[in-house]
Amino acid sequence: MQSTSRTLLESSTLSNESSTEIDLQAQAVKMPLRQVIPMIGPPNKQGAGKAYDSVLASRAALQVNVIDLVLVHWPGAAKIKPDSPENARLRRETWLELERAVLDGLVRYIGVSNYTAAHVRELLSYCTIRPAALQMELHPAYQPADVLDMCKTAGIFVQAYSSLGEGHLLDEKAWPMPVVQEAASKRGATRAQVLLAWARHRGWGTVPKSTRDERLAENLASGRIDLTEEEVVGINALACDFKFCWNPNVVR
Ligand SMILES: NC(=O)c1ccc[n+]([C@@H]2O[C@H](COP(=O)([O-])OP(=O)(O)OC[C@H]3O[C@@H](n4cnc5c(N)ncnc54)[C@H](OP(=O)(O)O)[C@@H]3O)[C@@H](O)[C@H]2O)c1
């Protein structure tokens, strides 16, 4: 699977799912899509009898015969305490239904999101079809080596989200990161472009979000920026275990 610059995400965790679907269809007409990635979300779509139906619903909403990639959005489930063993049971049931969706030709690839190394290890212990991808928070401040190493060993494609730290990492005062700033200045590039180029050098896909056309173009142009090995190593060294988003480590 390729790291792709044009990726559309549909999250069934969004409260306005139906309007999201309409937006997706409108965008799909305008954009040459390479991947459509619905998520099996935590609210009520995990577990036996639900995950497969969720794939069918996404397929109908997106008006495609075969979905490129379906991700399990979160290792936990709605209304279940994070430390409950129920979560593991639901993860397993969800995965087995997604495997069935692949065998039935509804989906090409299946993967997970926000899984920790422990969740991935558990999944690998029973899956018949290995996860093709793991989407997770990744940026210079957060680069968890255990799960990244596990993905490398297991051949799981890593897709980064919040590559710009939800935009916070672009604030030079709050997050100076001189190595990022210098790499940007040297090339007449932006900090956002350097962060996305760095993710590409690490071998990760990215899904930067912007509501502004000029920023979408700017982010897309990061594909033309090459960093030196020294710069990549310098940015790697910024890791400080800082997350901007939710923390899946609490889910048993
Ligand atoms: N799987 C999951 O659980 C999960 C969780 C979080 C996010 N995601 C996915 O990841 C995608 C992106 O993550 P994210 O939204 O958390 O954070 P992000 O992509 O790191 O940052 C988005 C923010 O940065 C700003 N921005 C984007 N490009 C910019 C640029 N070139 N210059 C200046 N500002 C820029 C955007 O503002 P403007 O809109 O004003 O440009 C927005 O506020 C989301 O769309 C979502 O699909 C997945």
Task: Name the closest-CA residue to atom 9, ligand 1.
Answer: 161
Mean local confidence (pLDDT), 88-111: 96
Mean local confidence (pLDDT), 140-158: 98
What residues have CB less than 8 Å from 200, skipping those under 6 apart? 3, 206, 222, 223
155-169 pLDDT, tens per residue? 999 999 999 999 999
Establish if 233 belongs to a structural domain.
no
Establish if 183 belongs to a structural domain.
no
Checking if the pLDDT of 176 tops 90, the result is: yes
The closest-lying atom of ligand 1 relative to the alpha carbon of residue 244 is 16
Establish if 169 belongs to a structural domain.
no
Establish if 210 belongs to a structural domain.
no
What residues have CB less than 8 Å from 167, skipping those under 6 apart? none
Establish if 86 belongs to a structural domain.
yes
Burial pattern 126-154, b for ≥16 Cβ within 10 A else e, equals eeebebbbbbbbbbbbbbbeebbebbeee
Residue 46: burial class (beta carbons within 10 Å; 0-12, 13-18, 19+): buried
Residue 31: burial class (beta carbons within 10 Å; 0-12, 13-18, 19+): exposed
Contact 156, 131 (CB under 8 A): yes
Pocket (CB within 6 angstroms of ligand 1): 9, 73, 113-114, 135, 161-167, 170, 190, 192, 207-212, 215, 218-219, 245
Q: What is the pTM of this model?
A: 0.89
Neighbours of 98 (CB within 10 A): 27
Return the best residue to mutate from 210, 225, 247 for the ligand 1 pocket (most ligand atoms within 8 A of CB): 210
Binned at pLDDT 50, 70 and 90, residue 16 comes out as very low
Establish if 53 belongs to a structural domain.
yes
Establish if 148 belongs to a structural domain.
no
**What's the CA gap between 234 and 124, in Å, rounded?**
33
Mean local confidence (pLDDT), 167-176: 98
Mean local confidence (pLDDT), 175-196: 98
Amino acid at 147: V
CATH number of the domain that residue 103 is part of? 3.20.20.100
Q: What is the pLDDT of residue 237?
A: 98
Beta bridge partners of 72: 40, 112
Range of the domain at 65: 1-131
Least confident of 71-80, 110-119, 240-249: 71-80
Question: First and final CA of the chain: distance in angstroms?
Answer: 29
**What's the CA gap between 160 and 29, in Å, rounded?**
26
What residues have CB less than 8 Å from 54, skipping those under 6 apart? 12, 38, 40, 41, 45
202-221 pLDDT, tens per residue? 999 999 999 999 999 999 99
Establish if 143 belongs to a structural domain.
no
Task: Name the closest-CA residue to atom 25, ligand 1.
Answer: 167
Burial pattern 202-237, b for ≥16 Cβ within 10 A else e, equals bebbbbbeeeeeebeebbebbeebebeeebbebbee
CA distances from 192 to 43, 139, 151, 197 (A): 32, 11, 25, 9
The count of structural domains within the chain is 1
Task: Name the closest-CA residue to atom 10, ligand 1.
Answer: 161
